[in-house]
Amino acid sequence: MFRFEDNKCYRMPAHFGGFDCPGPEAALYYKDAVSVTFTYTTDEKQLASYVPEGFELLRPELNISYSQFREIDWMAGGAYNLVQVSVPARFNGKRDQLEGQFILVVWENKTWPILGGREETGIPKIYADIEDLHTIQPNYYTSASYEGNTFLRLELLGAKPVNGQLLSEMQASAATINALGWRYIPKVGAPGADLSQPILYPQGAEVHSAWAGSGTVKWTQLSWEQNPGQWHIIKALAELPMLEMAPVIMAKGVIILKPNNGRVLE
């Protein structure tokens, strides 16, 4: 009969056996990463309604980051794409007070990173088909869809290299990133949660090169029939007004995730 061992780490289905838990200094490396970040101001009250109690919205900004990851060590050199939507926030707890990006939702196009991110680190990950980054320089395009129904198109236009002091500032700010989230595990067969807790997932990036340009974000609302599990998420984000778009930034480099330094915030 299978028995759990207290000194092992497990993932579902756990009854096939555990593994030695990585130490606190273990890190996950994404050796070939391209990210394009879109930021626009929106209605503060409307945006704050999606930020849980305990967190404070710092600015009425919505950040949409598209990332194309290649040469991922923990995926044996594999790859996936994601779209992350987040807001600048501060956690005000009894023990912890820190600022970072509170993640509203992450779409990814591979199952394996979704499972680990949801269960183990509390990042709200769900599935979508996400295109690789298409380019007709100096313009870049991508889109996200579900079963053939596109709900998001992103465009970076007129990208120009970033150098000097501005690049140095970007490199410094990206070195340490506090990804904040809310881990919610529902009860089985009953209302409420078995786990409902704020979390910190430390990460960072080594930015090797960067570009800046203008950009567009186009949300397309889907019906329940087109996307029964996500339509309400897309609707909420699409209804946030785009008041002012900041310069769009594309960066290339290495992403470093530190899940074993993650923790529940108090």
Query: What is the pLDDT at residue 226?
Result: 98
The tally of CA atoms less than 13 A away on the side-chain side of residue 119 is 12
Opening angle at CA 146, ends 140 and 150, nearest 5: 45
What tokens appear for 46 in the block? 């409307």
Task: Please report whether residue 13 resides in a domain.
Answer: no
Q: How many structural domains does the chain have?
A: 1
Q: Residues 156, 213: contact at Cβ < 8 Å?
A: yes
Give per-residue pLDDT as tens, 170-201: 999 999 999 999 999 999 999 999 999 999 99
Give per-residue pLDDT as tens, 129-149: 999 999 999 999 999 999 999
Task: Please report whether residue 45 resides in a domain.
Answer: yes
At a CB cut-off of 8 Å and minimum separation 6, what does 71 contact? 30, 31, 32, 77, 79
Which CATH number covers residue 71? 2.40.400.10
Average pLDDT rounded to a whole number, residues 239-261: 96
Task: Please report whether residue 12 resides in a domain.
Answer: no
Among residues 58, 56, 62, 69, the alpha carbon closest in space to that of 28 is found at 69
Task: Please report whether residue 20 resides in a domain.
Answer: no
Task: Please report whether residue 68 resides in a domain.
Answer: yes
Task: Please report whether residue 179 resides in a domain.
Answer: yes
Q: What phi and psi, each to the nearest 5 degrees, are found at residue 124? A: -80, 80
What tokens appear for 74 in the block? 């923990």
Task: Please report whether residue 80 resides in a domain.
Answer: yes
Give per-residue pLDDT as tens, 84-137: 999 999 999 999 999 999 999 999 999 999 998 898 899 999 999 999 999 999
pLDDT-derived band at 26, boundaries 50, 70, 90 = confident
pTM: 0.95
Q: How many CB atoms lie within 10 A of CB 146?
A: 20
